[in-house]
Structure 1
Amino acid sequence: MSKNIFFVGLILTASGLVSPPIALAAGLVYGFTFLHPYHLDAKRLSKLLLQASVIGLGFGMNLQQVLRVGRSGLVYTAAGITFAMLLGWGLGKLLAVTGRVSFLISAGTAICGGSAIAAVAPVAQATEEEIAVSMGTVFTLNSVALLLFPPIGTALHLTQTQFGLWSALAIHDTSSVVGASAKYGAVALGVATTVKLARALWIVPMSVGTAMVQKSNAKIQWPWFILFFCLASVANTYIGVFHAAYPVLRHLGILGLTVTLFLIGTGISKKTLREVGVRPLVQGIALWVVVATGSLALIRAGWISL
């Protein structure tokens, strides 16, 4: 029965009839109700599909907008990442969270959630258990953010630009950033996606810095999908001969994102929450709340803008 329901969920989320937040909610209900028959396969597929979906969304982006937003958000991004890493280190010490787990949670919060954790974990020589705990913490908070951010933005009367910027700075994973901003509006989606992808580029210096500190020879996982996203933006901006195909590719990216969120939701279960434990979860929540409320206050005050 669980297999049949899983495949029905996949078909519905791929049909375009279900919005990204609903897809995530349905995945969470499934994960908490049934024993996942394809847990590892779904995890691998969601990672690949997320990257392909981001590339697809690139066909709906203007390169000039991507460069402008990335350039103007450079200072905010650098300051935000530094602050999040230092605060995460302090909270980890205070709560006596294992060093590598604390570092992975901080990196995931500071940059781009699961993608950042997956990139720096081998370099930091983290164990499978440490990676699972960090991923579980980040994915749990991602789910909360995806459901809470749009109504909060509406209640506070945030403009679409403000909401897109806040989502990119305060939500962990690219998938959840896109899901939340897509629900808020097209402008919010454009701002959020470009700022978040510019932020994700910091995976590279973070991985290199970690390797230098750890003196690790582990292979650094380069975020190649970001390069292909930029190439898709180049095509959409300057290569008009294929202009009829670009909306189709962008739509496929949105559908892929919706399926990705369903798969991510199915991977979060009661067992996942038990494995995370109390202290790492408290560290992740505290760090995320400070980053989210702090960035929101600065955006509303006009200190952070595009």
Structure 2
Amino acid sequence: MQFSPVNTLPRRLVARGSDVWLGLLLCLVIAVIATVIGTFVPLVGSAIPAVMIGVVIAVIRKPAGQVVPGIGYSGKFVLQCAVVLLGSQLSLKSIVEVGTESLPVMLSSLIVCLVAAWLLGRWMGIERDIRTLIGVGTGICGASAIAAVAPIVKAKSHDISYAISTVFLFNILAVVVFPLVGHALGMTPHAFGLFAGTAVNDTSSVVAAASVFSSAALGFAVVVKLVRTLMIIPISVTLAIIEGRRNGDDERLTPRRVFKMIPWFLFGFVIMALIASTGIITEAGAEILGRLSVFLVATALAGIGLSTDIRAIRAAGLKPLALGGVLSALVALTALSAMFLTGHI
């Protein structure tokens, strides 16, 4: 009797596949198109085109019927799998080396961003979920952080779309402004790599900003950005605990209960990073897994775009966009201040 779940697993998997395949296929097609766009326009990447194509389709004709389960599946489970694969881009060695140098800058900018998102967002009357998403997206690592946090706070699709678009907009602005700031302050390539990796979110935008400044700044900037991704874990755990309390769970939070609150995909993220640290994953393998993670993010964001409620975005107005702009400026200014205090500039 106790083995019945195992015995019925193949049948359940087939049933689940038959439910989601059509919507998943639609999201995969959109992801392929978005990837092609990102290949020709690297600064844009594949995430934003995937969301935009999904939103345009949703505006023209809202998906219904058999495609709906697969769209939801893409926007949730596929997104979580993408976060797991993201762990393959890190190793304990890089975490220790880069983390030691960048931690003061990273933590100070993150704390300022999250506190400002909470206080300023409340003062502006912005809905809790969207200010949380914009806060973690701006403070940590853009779409990847939003992808990790969205299932924890049970964010709506239109909030996710709005948050990703907002963070992306100010990333593009950073690509233009940051190199000018770096040259004006006389930064070395190493210092600018720390600045860009800490204050710019999306990987493609980090690469673009560092490349504009100096090719010598590129490698360090990307590694700093990847190490910054680790901040997803403590922030997600904290949000899981807060959500547990908000949902009326007043039982004492023992270590065991906190452990149960942590989403499965964060465990997967850590396990992948540990595997990468062993050297089992070759450089070519890590590149393939990285590209697969990016593609899965595009697939998931296509699903989120297709599920977007445009009326809800209109109702949100321009306040979340203004919040994103203020937070981006605060992250940059805090990073510069911390770098000055620690002797990097």
Q: Does 1:89 align with 2:118?
A: yes
TM-score (norm 2): 0.63
Given candidates 311, 320, 343, the residue that maps to 1:274 is 311
Is the CA contact (8 Å cut-off) linking 2:27 and 2:299 kept in structure 1? no
Task: Give me the whole-angstrom Cα distance separating, in 1, the residues matched to 2:245 and 2:116.
Answer: 21
Is the CA contact (8 Å cut-off) linking 1:167 and 1:181 kept in structure 2? yes
Task: Give me the whole-angstrom Cα distance separating, in 2, the residues matched to 1:12 and 1:96.
Answer: 34
Amino acid at match of 1:115: A
Sort the Cα spacing of 1:40 and 1:99 in 2 relative to 1 into closer, same or farther, 3 A. Answer: closer
Correspondences of 1:1-306 after superposition (within 5 Å): 7=29, 9-10=31-32, 13=35, 19=42, 21-35=44-58, 38-44=70-76, 46-58=78-90, 61=91, 63-99=92-128, 102-103=131-132, 105-106=134-135, 109-111=138-140, 112-119=145-152, 121=153, 131-157=156-182, 159=189, 162-163=192-193, 165-169=195-199, 171=201, 177-183=202-208, 184=210, 185-198=218-231, 200-209=233-242, 211=244, 216=249, 220-222=261-263, 223-236=266-279, 242=280, 245-266=281-302, 267-268=304-305, 271-279=308-316, 282=319, 284-300=320-336, 302-303=339-340
More off after superposition, 218-227 vs 287-296: 218-227
Is the CA contact (8 Å cut-off) linking 2:113 and 2:331 kept in structure 1? no
Task: Give me the whole-angstrom Cα distance separating, in 2, the residues matched to 1:277 and 1:8.
Answer: 24
Equivalenced residues, count? 280
Task: For residue 340 of structure 2, give the secondary structure of its aligned residue in structure 1.
Answer: coil
Is the CA contact (8 Å cut-off) linking 1:101 and 1:134 kept in structure 2? yes
Sort the Cα spacing of 1:134 and 1:272 in 2 relative to 1 into closer, same or farther, 3 A. Answer: same
Task: State the percentage of identical aligned residues.
Answer: 10
Deviation by residue 1:146-172 (Cα, 9 ceiling, x = unmatched): 54433333444464653554454453x
How far did 1:78 drift? Answer: 4.3
How far did 1:292 drift? Answer: 1.8
Is the CA contact (8 Å cut-off) linking 1:87 and 1:287 kept in structure 2? no
How far did 1:231 drift? Answer: 0.5
Deviation by residue 1:227-266 (Cα, 9 ceiling, x = unmatched): 1243034213xxxxx4xx5112211123113313433553
Mark the runs of 5 or more structure 1 residues left unpaired by the alignment.
122-127, 172-176, 237-241
Amino acid at match of 2:238: P
Sort the Cα spacing of 1:260 and 1:290 in 2 relative to 1 into closer, same or farther, 3 A. Answer: same
Task: Give me the whole-angstrom Cα distance separating, in 2, the residues matched to 1:257 and 1:235.
Answer: 20
Task: Give me the whole-angstrom Cα distance separating, in 1, the residues matched to 2:26 and 2:151.
Answer: 30
Task: Give me the whole-angstrom Cα distance separating, in 2, the residues matched to 1:273 and 1:27.
Answer: 16
Mark the runs of 5 or more structure 2 residues left unpaired by the alignment.
1-22, 184-188, 211-217, 251-256
TM-score (norm 1): 0.70
How far did 1:74 drift? Answer: 4.1
More off after superposition, 39-48 vs 268-277: 268-277
Sort the Cα spacing of 1:30 and 1:102 in 2 relative to 1 into closer, same or farther, 3 A. Answer: closer
Amino acid at match of 2:224: V
Task: For residue 126 of structure 2, give the secondary structure of its aligned residue in structure 1.
Answer: coil
Sort the Cα spacing of 1:166 and 1:117 in 2 relative to 1 into closer, same or farther, 3 A. Answer: farther
Task: For residue 202 of structure 1, give the secondary structure of its aligned residue in structure 2.
Answer: helix
